[in-house]
Each structure stands twice: as C-alpha cells, then as structure tokens.
Structure 1
C-alpha cells in the first residue's frame, strides 16, 4: 500500500513508499536510444523541445482553463528534465491553435484523438503527465489504449485530483450562477490565476478565461455522468502510477492514495509543500517534482536485466 510522504523538504527515493505489486513493463520493447525526429507528430501534439536521442516521451495534458504547450513551456519543463526525456504538450480543443474548434463537453473525443496519435506513440516509450483535469484526461487515454490496443504508457503521473472511482462524488464544478467575486475565487482555486489579476481592469482577465474554464468545468461534470454509465472493473490499467498532491490542497490525501486501485502495477503517493498548484508556488518544489519524475522515468526505461 502506498504511503503518504509528509515532508516540507525535497522528496528523495528513500522517502517514497510504493505498493508491493510487480512493476509493469512492455515485453520486448526496445529501450535503446533512437536518434530520430518524428515525422508522425499529429496536429494535437507539439514537441516542446526536440530531442532526437530521447529514450522516452512525456506527454502532458492541461489543467482546467490551461493550455499544455504554453503552460508547460512557461514552466520550462523540458529544461528541468534530463535529455533522455522529450516533453510533448497535448493541444486541447477550444484554445491555442485549436481555438476555432468547439470545446469538448466530455471525454468522448478520446478514441479519435488517440487513434490519430498511434503512429507517434509507437516510435518510442511514452509516459503521461496531468494535473487536475489533465490527470483525468491522462487516465482516460491510458485506459483507452489499454482496452483497445497493445500500446501502454510506461508510467502515469497524476496530480491534484482523485481517481475516477471517486470522481463521481465531487461537487458540481461549474461557475454558472455565482457572483463575480465567487467566480474569481473559484477560478483562482481551479486555474491558479491570481485573484488580483482576475479583479483588475473591470474583470477583463475574468472575461477572457471564463469561457474556456467554464467549458472545462462543464466537462468535469459530464465526466461524472460518463463514469456512472460505465461498468469498469478495476484495475483497468497495467502501468505504474505516481500520484502527487500539495500538502495544503483541499483533496483528501487518503482518497489520493486510492489511485492504487486503478492499476495492476505499482503505485507511489507523494506530497509536496503547497496548495492545489504546489509546483507553481516555489521553484524548489517544482525542482523536487521534476527530479522525482526524472528518477521514475530513468527506472522505467532501464531494461530489467540491468536493474
């Protein structure tokens, strides 16, 4: 059983407990370095910094109201990770270069988007990373691939949200009917946008972000209905999972540990100092998170014979 890591200092391997289940590996997968620039990058994905010799790709999904390519580039995620990791951002409909497309209202888009990425995903091992809403998207991608293809992520990194079996119990997420002050507070909490920015200039920032964030919160509510209509028998995944959360986040940390129920692989649960957007609050915390990601991917891309 995974254990909570309660510490305000850097997270080290000795401080992280894992489940006792065997680690999942892709039988026969070639983990050797491949010097190549992909010719199969679909329109929905963008490589933040091309690294032809990378051993693994980390595909990142946006949080509510966010844009993966812009936000992870602003965080300098590629620069924070070693050269054997190539960071890829997923382009969400209704924002960025896909702003002309209708925003998604559920996760029914997963099959089409995933199928368009199959050639890209077969080029080398890949892992998924998501925070908040992005964690749900990453899980749904991993679930669809596991149920419908022979492809598997070598690892699933989730952050700041509960697993799907508990998602149905969350309160309604939308901001409709709230006063402007209440909208500001909720948007600040869910997207990390400073309240001072939201309230400045006659709420211009609020007006700009509200349509995108509202669509994402409506998607979260629709997702609960989609989960209720399914008859999943857990575990649904085989890959290993790391679940992270800020130690001052509103989420029940015991519920975060229940990510272990969705996979037959191992699960790690770790906490970092901070609130919902803990990795944006302090550079040191972001460094601790990326160091943990790098260690995990190094283990996952090391052939079993060399462990």
Structure 2
C-alpha cells in the first residue's frame, strides 16, 4: 500500500506559495507518519511511503519512495500507484490538487472520498450553499444577522488557516475581497461566527458517518486580524457532553448531503452560544485530527478503513494486530 502526503512527498518545492508550504509541511509530515504507523500494525499489509523533504521522520519498516529527478508529483503518483494495490493520499484541495490526484490514481486503487465529493468540498462557497440547501446550518444563515461584528475573507479552496483574514467591518472585508479578486485569487467572504471552534472526525461508508471524535481547534487571531491555526486537541469532548449527540446527528446529516464522503473525513464547525453547531467547511480527506486518534480511541483506524474499503461493510477491528 502506498501512503502519499503531497508536501512531504515532493510537492513542498512545487507548491506555489512558499510561506504556505512551510506552514503546512509539519502538519503534512505528522499526518503521513500517523497513517503509516497505524498501517504497520495491520496484518499482511506492506507499506510504502513517499518522502522527499530533508528531514526523514518516516517510521521504521516502511519502504521510503522518492520521485525521480524532474518527475512531477502526478507522474510519480501515477507510476507508483500502478505498483501498489491501494493508495492512501493526502493533499490540499487548493487548485484542485486532491481531485486531480484522485483522477490520477483512479477509483480502483483510491482509499478515500469520491472525485465528486472532493470537487464539491474543495470550494468553500459551493459547499456551504449545498449544505444549506440540505438543511445544514452554515454561516450563510448569519449574513443579515444584526449581531455579526466580524467578517472573514479566505481562499475559496484554501487549506489550514492560510491567507485567512478577520475584519471588524464588512466594508473592510469587501475591500480585501475585491483586492484579492483583482489579483486573480478566488476568495470567499463570510460572517465570522462567534463561539467554540471544533472539528469532527468521521468514518464514512455509504451515506452514513460514524463520528469518531469531537476535537477542539486552537485558533488565534493576531493584532492585524490574521488567523493562525495552532493545532488541534483530539477527542476533546467527553461522550457525556450534551453537545455530542447533536454533533453526531450533524455528521450524519452532512454525510447524507455529500454521498461521496468515504473513509476518513472531517468537518470544521463553530458551536455558536445560541444557535448551536454551524458548519464552516468539510475536509474530504485525512486531517490533522487523525494524528493520535487511533491511540486515543483504542482502535486502529487504518485497519478499519482498509476493511471497509476491501469488504464493503463496517470495519472489523480484528484486522489490527495492535493499536497504533
């Protein structure tokens, strides 16, 4: 099985925004290494992983693979996917990267969400409109709310908190949006939803979703309004928290609205003090919350994902020889 994380596998030097690449690379490495570590405990599963960055953190026993000189990320993935039974891949949705990798690998070998789900979730505005049409609460419901004090401008297909700016007036936000659009950037402007920043980790199969955990996102806004993603606390809400049940139902609602969600996926949301959960975006791939999650739950999630993919039923945890 091939594990490929875009930035650490060769995309780091190709990524258009050098500052963004530097910001996202440590997150990419941590996801790749967590995925590989889980797979190493799966019976009869040999693991290869792409590595290209100077620092090699790859767990022992995983076969490291490197692109040929001058080989593009897509050519490398196409060549290696033909040599592996399955490909588990993480890449930003930015510029259609994740969707293009899905098409490169093809459905037969792809472990993850469908091309349609990836394409939909890649556009933040389109995702929110789609979810709102299916009755899912989103920031669109707050556009004319009198108590909105802040507005956020961000790339429509961005990853992490890169190039995300919070403004204290709509006029300033509109000016920021217009300036970026003039420079050719696809950006979205939304009401900033006040409340607790959370994320959901999901195990999706068919049009159903098991909510694995509710995670707390650590987000900071500096003096200039720039948003910084500072990490995630995995499995932060206890099962007896009153928010757990409505969040699990929200996860199922999103899975019904986006049928192609498959395997591991994430939902970013804010718990508004009065209105409850408000979905900000959907991540059709492994997210930072995967890191440490198998250990936290006492389940080998990679084994479950593989079993679900290979046998088409809810995963059998006995595939795992041990916990990651």
Higher strand content, 1 or 2: 2
TM-score, with length taken from structure 1: 0.37
TM-score, with length taken from structure 2: 0.35
Higher helix content, 1 or 2: 1
